[in-house]
Amino acid sequence: MAQVYIQKLFQDKQERLGLTWVAGSDGADRVLESEVVNASDKGLIGHLNLIHPNWVQVISNTELDYLRNLDPAALGEAFAQLQASGSLCLILAGVEEVPPELIAYANHSRTPLFLSPQSSVHLMWMVRHYIIKELAESTTRHGVFLDVLGVGVMITGDSGVGKSELALELITRGNGLVADDITELYRISPETLEGRCPDLLRDFLEVRGLGVLNIRTMFGETAVRRKKSLKLIVHLHRPGGGDLSKMERLPFKASFQDILGVQISTVEIPVMAGRNLAVLVEAAARNFVLQQRGINTMDEFIARHEQQMLDQSA
């Protein structure tokens, strides 16, 4: 289960957003869990809202003016609603002076209160992106993950089928390595999986006979990527008996793999002596891009074939 620790959020964004911890230090142990967020109808982050509260409540001068204009009884009721909402923290954005009533509330309710010189819109954009990534569902997959012609391609297959050698050839052709052996996948949006490399393996590619290679050192900064959205899986396999003639030549139906609820296009490439796998993988990536643009070569071929049959029968 993914979690966001308020202490870590503050530390990770302190420099970028100029955060200052004003009050509510007793709430430093607060945690936001993915299961709780998914089961709740609260927004992740937004301007102060007492009717439809957010997990992270942002207070700009507009919201501050509203609170200042409340009489003591109404202000106390607003603070009671705010406490009952169970928000993770409060962030003052672009505010020069912090009202003492808000500091007292934060200390009393153990709600972390931060101050940032950034505008509320910019702050919410940054914090929302951070929380989404931290709470993203995740899993791991075995294979080599590369940026091939701008497409995130994972090469899978049995041990010894040639995944690493293929990856090395693709890198020499100008493509980039994301991860070898183990790829961490995070669902950062309903239809997007982001692949990253574990810190221990970053920049490394293990090739039988050569050992572990540092791709960044050998080929330069442009040969590696920190992360990439997974779009295509290329599965390498050895055909039974080494006979390609028994394989389906024209796959009429597209293949997909379901990973964390996201459908990923899949292509199977048989491995045989003399086949240029690097060219085939690049062709698969180019074909994927065409399909995303609505150009399906297989459908075009079938349409031509059907039209010719109609013309001949006429």
- Whether 8 is catalytic: no
- Whether 13 is catalytic: no
Selected catalytic residue, list 47, 181, 203, 227: 181
In whole angstroms, give the CA distance from residue 205 to residue 181: 8
From the DSSP assignment, how many helices (H) and strands (E) are in the chain? 10, 18
Question: Could you tell me if 259 and 139 are in contact, meaning their C-beta atoms sit under 8 angstroms apart?
Answer: yes
3-class state of residue 118 by DSSP: coil
- Helix, strand and coil percent figures for the chain, each rounded to 5: 40, 30, 30
- Whether 163 is catalytic: yes
Selected catalytic residue, list 249, 258, 293, 311: 249
In whole angstroms, give the CA distance from residue 37 to residue 264: 26
Count CA atoms closer than 13 A to 223's CA, side-chain side. Answer: 19
User: What single-letter amino acid sits at 72?
Assistant: P
CA angle 42, 95, 4 (to 5 degrees): 35
Question: Could you tell me if 208 and 164 are in contact, meaning their C-beta atoms sit under 8 angstroms apart?
Answer: yes
- Whether 202 is catalytic: no
Unique residue bearing structure tokens 């002596």: 273
Selected catalytic residue, list 163, 187, 231, 235: 163
- The residues carrying an active-site annotation are 142, 163, 181, 249
